Chain A
Amino acid sequence: MPRRAVLLLLACVFAAAAFGVSRRAEWPLPGAASWTARHPDPRVVDAGAEAALAAQVDGERRGDLLLLFAALAAGCLVVAAAPRVAAWMGGAPSAVLLCGSIGLGVAQLGVSIAGQARGLRDGSWSVADDTLDRIAPREAATLREWRARIAPDEGVILIGSDPRLYDLVVWALDPRPLYPLLLDIRPATSAEQVLRGARGLPIVRERGARWIADLNVLPPGTPAGHAALMRVEP
């Protein structure tokens, strides 16, 4: 009976902790920011991006703590309700951890199944051979048009550094040779200026790259002084 009382008490404590965590948007590590300010990493070149990452990690830490406390509370409740589980597991701590883990896992399993069912309804989950429409509903038509225009052996210079658009083009234009230039050009730059710059590149003169694609103006409707895909003649 005392063990059951302790487990119920712990369940309340963990539930309260979960509730406390849920009321905050982030959970930063104590002292981490001041340590970083006093000891900056020499590799960090974009403090803004790193601050954004830190905020994201703090938010995910909050989510993990919430799940952790909720799972511990559930585990305590199960073992308090069914003490045989602790005997079977060789101890209450193991039983609490295992029951909490399974409970959390089953809940997440439900989330995954519900997400897949939702995706099936809205078209984002499919086993059909047409992933491009699902990855990039806005850009798929443009990328298919590019694939029709660019011969499989013609090289393409990639301008821009947006990771999502980069992945899209890498996926859609395979097996065409891709030559990434990790730089951004102003959207207002004229087509002639872009082509003049491209003609001077060794990959055009010596390696046969014949197209230049500016990922920054790939999304339909982006105002720009040049097309997203242009043919380059050396």
Chain B
Amino acid sequence: MSLAVGALFVLLLVLAGWWPLRRLAGGWVGAAPLERAALALALGAAVTGLLQLAVSACGAPSTALVPGAAAALSLLLCRLAPGPPSPPPVRAGPLPGLLALLLVVVAVASVGAAVGTPFSADGVRIWSAKARDLALHAATSAPSLHDPDRFGVHRDYPLLVPALLAPSFAWSGPEAAAGPKLVLAALNLALLGVASGLLRRAGPRGLAALAGLATLPFLCSLEVRESAVAGGYADSTDALFLLLVVAGVQRLGAEERPARAAGLVALAGGALVSTKLEGGVELLVVVVAALLAGLPRRRVLPAAALAVLLALPTFAIRAGVAGDEAAFELASLLAPGVLAARAPPIASGLAGLALDASSFALLPLLVLAWLLPSAPAGQTRTRTLALWMLAGALLFLATAYLATGMIPARHIYTSAHRLAWHWLPALLLLAAQLAPAPGHAPAHPATTPARRPDAA
């Protein structure tokens, strides 16, 4: 029963994203139906989640009304306002049969790892607890957010994912987890599908990178700490929106008429900020990296500003919640004793992410091996963007762990790999674009007719 409920809500998200897909990304992601469905699911989750939060900020619980209305409106708009015809899809390399088979097996195993196991750890304390609360109450009145005596963990966390899960919880039984976890698993698959659509344009190395991404242990592991799906966390959703932001930012620099790319960055960026606390910092890092890489300021900044506007419900909700114990103590950054105690373990912890084979296999090393050598001609901007993103991510993680109010070793152990996961697909995309094999011209978004020689 719960699984069927989850499948229904996944379908509604795909439908809700169909019109945004046609308007923002119609000719971009490629012609493969499953890749288009994955992008529609991602955009539908962004639209539905942001609408759900706006409604919740206005005082209504997160019911099936918003997903249903968003799906119906999307279908209506597809008929009434389909928009100008999309440019023909950029030709992508065909998916080899063995890789297609691998993707199918990974999809089945990943969904199985999610729906067949219960919520656990933060999946119980944070994501499902908030979703169940939002199913009954608005975010402006949910007791777990506003009553400091009541059970509530991280009351200041953004609520897009709980708002997406809430209707599935409301329609499932009191103990059921399969439906809500199917929604999370579908977002995990959407990440893989969107990455597939993007990476296939990066030539043979893009296909190789896709195979590496698909076989990450993190995608289907049953070990809760090392799994993107088994515990019921929201990190793959964050990684999905971050990947879309980066892909959109690349298009901002490449297209002659960047309105679609700006819309994509705004929508995905707003959803990113509304998904996890780190999302706001991650959007900032991408924007700063884009500017440092020489992407046009007049295109990047308005798109980022629109993303912040779309996240206003999240800011409004957060301003009203009961205060938690401070998660970070900025004074720690100025205390020599704290810095001396924490700097070496944090440095080793962050360096250890590159060797975290049980979560990421050898993919971080591969990304570094592609990013660190000098870029091929015409790809300097892509490499610069990637390196600034990497530097920003590491700086953010180091600062956060230096200032954490938790015990740093425990904080790193429980979170660093999940936060690194946010960046890995986007960095892999950029790194794969840097490495065209001889005789294979890169065919990523930069190859649209309007591209400049160095456009990323």
Contacts and interface: CB of A to CB of B under 8 A. Distances in A.
Contact of A112 (B109, B214, B361, B406): B109
Interface residues of B, number: 79
Interface residues of A, number: 73
Contact of B362 (A97, A128, A166): A97
Interface stretch (B20-28, B80-88, B348-356): B348-356
B365 A125 contact: no
A42 interface: yes
Contacts of A116: 109, 112-113, 116, 222
Given A68-B362, A112-B221, A90 B437 contact: yes
A140 to B, nearest CB: 9
A49 to B, nearest CB: 9
B2 interface: yes
Helix, strand, loop or mixed for chain B's interface? helix
Contacts of A171: 118-119, 124, 128, 175
A225 B220 CA distance: 45
Interface stretch (A1-9, A53-61, A183-191): A53-61
B344 A32 contact: yes
Contacts of B136: 175
Nearest to A68: B357
A158 interface: yes
Interface stretch (A102-110, A192-200, A214-222): A102-110
Interface in B402-446: 405-410, 413, 435-438
A129 B173 contact: yes
B151 A127 contact: no
B344 A104 contact: no
B370 interface: yes
A131 B409 contact: no
A178 to B, nearest CB: 4
Given A41-B341, A129-B175, A178-B151, A57 B409 contact: yes
A167 B120 contact: yes
B313 to A, nearest CB: 23
A149 interface: no
B1 A129 contact: yes
A125 B408 contact: no
Given A44-B407, A102-B212, A129-B172, A175 B133 contact: yes
A48 to B, nearest CB: 13
Among A72, A89, A101, A170, the one with the most B-chain Cβ atoms within 10 Å of its Cβ is A101
Contact of B204 (A63, A88, A113, A124): A88
B106 interface: yes
B338 A64 contact: no
Contacts of B129: 170, 174
B358 interface: yes
B125 interface: yes
Nearest to A206: B149
Contacts of A12: none
Interface string B356-376: 111001110110011000000
A71 interface: yes
B216 interface: yes
A130 B205 CA distance: 45
A172 to B, nearest CB: 8
B177 A131 contact: yes
B448 interface: no
Contacts of A40: 341
Contacts of A98: 208-209, 211-212, 362, 366
A118 B31 CA distance: 38
Given A109-B109, A112-B109, A71 B407 contact: no
B204 to A, nearest CB: 6
A146 interface: no
B421 to A, nearest CB: 14
A32 B113 contact: no
Contact of A131 (B3, B121, B175, B358): B175
B372 to A, nearest CB: 11
A68 B355 contact: yes
A90 B438 contact: yes
Nearest to B112: A116
B413 A42 contact: no
Interface string B180-216: 0000000000000000000000001100110110111
A108 B150 contact: no
Given A109-B105, A170-B129, A120 B116 contact: yes
Contacts of A41: 338, 341-342, 407-409
A64 B355 CA distance: 7
B221 A104 contact: no
Interface in A79-101: 88-90, 93-94, 97-98, 100-101
Contacts of B363: 101
Nearest to A60: B358
Nearest to B335: A42
B115 interface: yes
Interface in B1-19: 1-3
Nearest to B368: A97
A167 B153 CA distance: 12
B128 A57 contact: no
Nearest to B352: A61
A64 B409 contact: no
A134 interface: yes
A23 interface: no
Among A67, A97, A111, the one with the most B-chain Cβ atoms within 10 Å of its Cβ is A97
A120 B217 CA distance: 20
B33 interface: no
A108 B218 CA distance: 9
12 contacts: A32-B344, A36-B341, A41-B409, A42-B337, A65-B355, A100-B362, A101-B361, A109-B217, A112-B109, A131-B176, A178-B151, A179-B149
8 nearest A-B pairs in the assembled complex, by CB-CB distance: A105-B215, A108-B217, A129-B176, A101-B362, A67-B357, A178-B151, A125-B116, A101-B361
Interface of A: 29, 32, 35-36, 39-44, 50, 53-54, 56-57, 60-61, 63-65, 67-68, 71-72, 75, 88-90, 93-94, 97-98, 100-102, 104-106, 108-109, 111-113, 115-116, 119-120, 124-132, 134-135, 147, 158, 166-167, 170-172, 174-175, 177-180, 203, 207
